[in-house]
C-alpha cells in the first residue's frame, strides 16, 4: 500500500504542518499539496461544499506529495467509510466527547474483525494499491476532535482508546465551551491551560496532538507547547490575508495623486 508519509513523520516525532481545504477547487487543493505541507485536509464540516465535491478535492491533494485527509461532518461510520473509500488517508472527526464515541471512530476506520468498516475501497484501492484492504487498518490515521468541557472531563479515557492515532483540538469551539470568546490570540488562560493538559495526556498515552491555528505565529507557539500537527489557517483565510497584505503594501507605497480631472 502507498505509504502514509504523515504517519511516518509523526512516528519520527517530527512537527508536521497540515493544510485545510474549505472551498470546492480541486486545483487549489492540488496547489496546497505542492506547497510544502505534510498533509491537506478536506473539510466537510465547515467547508463550502457537499460530499459530492470531496472526491475531486481528494484527487487534487493526491496529485501532489501531501497526505490526503478529510474532516467528516459528524461521527457516522457510513460517511467515514465513504471518505476512506474516496482515498482519504486520515479522518478528523468533530465533537468526540466520550470514550464510546472515540471507540466508534476507530472502529469506523477499520475493517472487521477490528472495526466495522464496510468493504468497498473504490478509489482507496486505486490510490492506495492492490494490498489496500490488508494494509489500510495500519495506515489510516484517526483523529478525535476535543472541543468541549465534556471532552476534557473524559480526556484520559479518550486518549487511551486502542487504535486512536491522536486528538485534534478545535480551539474556537473549546473556547466557547469554556465560556470564552472564540478567535482570540493570545488565547485566554483557561483555554491555554486546557491545551497544556491535552498535549500532556495525549503524549502520556502514546498518541499525537493536533490543533487548528489562527496563523503562523500561533502555530509556532503551539508547536513549542508540544502539538505535533499544526494547521496554520484555512485556504481562504491564508489567501485573504495574503491579498490584504499586498493591497496594503501597494496603497502605502503608491504616490498620492494630485488634483485633476479624475480620469
Please give the positions annotated as active site.
46
Closest CA to 87 of 131, 132, 134, 123: 123
Please tell me the distance from the alpha carbon of residue 43 to that of residue 72, in angstroms, as a whole number. 7
In 10 A of CB 2, how many CB atoms? Answer: 16
Closest CA to 193 of 213, 169, 216: 169
Does 5 sit behind a cis peptide bond, omega within 30 degrees of 0 on the bond before it?
Answer: no
Per 3-state DSSP, what percentage of the chain is helix, strand, and coil (rounded to 5)?
45, 15, 40
Please tell me the distance from the alpha carbon of residue 83 to that of residue 90, in angstroms, as a whole number. 9
Please tell me the distance from the alpha carbon of residue 108 to that of residue 116, in angstroms, as a whole number. 5
Amino acid at each position: 500500500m502507498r505509504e502514509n508519509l504523515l504517519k511516518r513523520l509523526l512516528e519520527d516525532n517530527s512537527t508536521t504542518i497540515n493544510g485545510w481545504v474549505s472551498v470546492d477547487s480541486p486545483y487549489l487543493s492540488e496547489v496546497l499539496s505542492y506547497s510544502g505541507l505534510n498533509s491537506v485536509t478536506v473539510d466537510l464540516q465547515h467547508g463550502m461544499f457537499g460530499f459530492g465535491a470531496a472526491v475531486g478535492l481528494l484527487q487534487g491533494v493526491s496529485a501532489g506529495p501531501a497526505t490526503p485527509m478529510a474532516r467528516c461532518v459528524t461521527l457516522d461510520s457510513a460517511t467515514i467509510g465513504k471518505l476512506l473509500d474516496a482515498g482519504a488517508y486520515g479522518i478528523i472527526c468533530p465533537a468526540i466527547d466520550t470514550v464510546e464515541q472515540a471507540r466508534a471512530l476507530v472502529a469506523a476506520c477499520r475493517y472487521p474483525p477490528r472495526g466495522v468498516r464496510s468493504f468497498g475501497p473504490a478509489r482507496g484501492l486505486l490510490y492506495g494499491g492492490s494490498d489496500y484492504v490488508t494494509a489500510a487498518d495500519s495506515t489510516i490515521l484517526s483523529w478525535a476532535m476535543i472541543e468541549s468541557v465534556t471532552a476534557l472531563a473524559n480526556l484520559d479515557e479518550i486518549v487511551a482508546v486502542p487504535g486512536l492515532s491522536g486528538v485534534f483540538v478545535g480551539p474556537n469551539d473549546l473556547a466557547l465551551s469554556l465560556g470564552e470568546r472564540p478567535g482570540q490570540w493570545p488565547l485566554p488562560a483557561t483555554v491555554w491551560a486546557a491545551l497544556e493538559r491535552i498535549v500532556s495526556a495525549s503524549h502520556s498515552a502514546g498518541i499525537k496532538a493536533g490543533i487548528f491555528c489562527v496563523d503562523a505565529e500561533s502555530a509556532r507557539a503551539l508547536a513549542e507547547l508540544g502539538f505535533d500537527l499544526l494547521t496554520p489557517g484555512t485556504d481562504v483565510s491564508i489567501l485573504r490575508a495574503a491579498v490584504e497584505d499586498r493591497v496594503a503594501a501597494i496603497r502605502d507605497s503608491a504616490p498620492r495623486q494630485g488634483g485633476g480631472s479624475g480620469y
